[in-house]
Chain A
Amino acid sequence: MPLNTQLIGKTYDEIEFAVERDRVNQFLDAIGDDTPVFRDPEAAKAAGYADQVAPPTFITVIQMMTSSQVVLDKELGLDYSRVVHGVQSYAYERPLVVGDVISATPRLTSIETRRSNEFLTIESEVHDANGELVLTARSTLISRGTGGP
């Protein structure tokens, strides 16, 4: 069944998230990146950062919370077992560091049908505690086989 295109433009709840050291270290273990500015607070400070730097895709941790609001929106009618990740883009103003408290407000920006698939795009601007833009994330999820009649 096609997705509910009436929801295009809908803004979801703001999610607040603290970038914690343990979480960054756990993420680095999983991706196998031992770069000193990611791993070591002293190396990060020596390089001019306030604390350990979170790697570029760490933001996926908060996106699991922002995107799930859209994915689980009953009015949208998405069957998550049909969903694959199609596109992911990030535009960075600065890297996240341990101690940052960030907030993200996801918005469903488009639903497009191509052949039998539907492509839904979710955008989030991520701001720090001072209200400064840190990064913009855009994800396209593919709902397989729901675009047909």
Chain B
Amino acid sequence: MTAQVDFDDVKVGDEIPVRSKVVKREDVKAYADASGDQNPLHQDDSFAQMVGFPGIIAHGMFTMAHLTSTLTGWVGDPAALKSVDVQFRAVVYMDETIEAGGRISELDPDARTAKLDVWVRLERDGVTEYPIKNSTAEVQLA
């Protein structure tokens, strides 16, 4: 299988389709079980409040999984994702809507690869927060 996005069809500055998702408590619980990360910060509201949050927060890796699904969904082949480098910069609470996106920052015509700036953002009380920012990915295009 190869990428479904052709190198000749993209240019620097292009954005990939944004993917949104509402973060549900039951999904975060399912993620704790699937990943093995049973930190109470992601399951127990009273614990989360004890360490200064209003309620439980999603795992950083849960948010990152939504970003990589967005990338592989766009490029069309999981093998086309060559690298991803993510910084976690804000928390995600339950029932918030996260939006993953990316913008092509660099193209290598010899290797037919693209580098992207990638992010996950959300709106909270009229402010845009970035749970993932200053982050990059590299993909192999067709």
- Chain A interface residues (CB < 8 Å from chain B): 23, 26-27, 29-33, 35, 37-38, 47-49, 53, 55-57, 60-61, 64-65, 80-81, 84-92, 94-95
Contact = CB atoms under 8 A, between A and B. Distances in A.
B85 interface: yes
Nearest to B78: A95
Contacts of A81: 51
A15 to B, nearest CB: 12
Contact of B88 (A48, A87, A95): A87
Contact of B78 (A23, A53, A61, A85): A53
Interface of B: 1, 21, 27, 30-31, 33-37, 39, 51, 59-62, 64-66, 68-69, 71-73, 77-79, 81-88
B35 A60 contact: yes
A88 B30 contact: no
A65 to B, nearest CB: 8
Q: Which secondary structure dominates chain B's binding surface?
A: helix
Nearest to A140: B87
Contacts of A94: 79
Given A48-B1, A86-B88, A27 B35 contact: yes
Given A55-B65, A64-B35, A87 B86 contact: yes
Contacts of B84: 56, 89-90
6 contacts: A30-B31, A33-B69, A53-B79, A85-B59, A94-B79, A95-B81
A35 to B, nearest CB: 7
Given A30-B27, A30-B34, A87-B86, A57 B78 contact: no
Contacts of B77: 37, 47
B21 A92 contact: no
Contacts of B82: 91-92
B87 A87 contact: yes
A56 B60 CA distance: 14
A31 to B, nearest CB: 4
A100 to B, nearest CB: 13
A35 B85 CA distance: 22
A49 B2 CA distance: 11
Contacts of A37: 1, 77-78
Among A31, A33, A87, A94, the most chain B Cβ lie within 10 Å of the Cβ of: A31
B61 to A, nearest CB: 5
Nearest to B60: A85
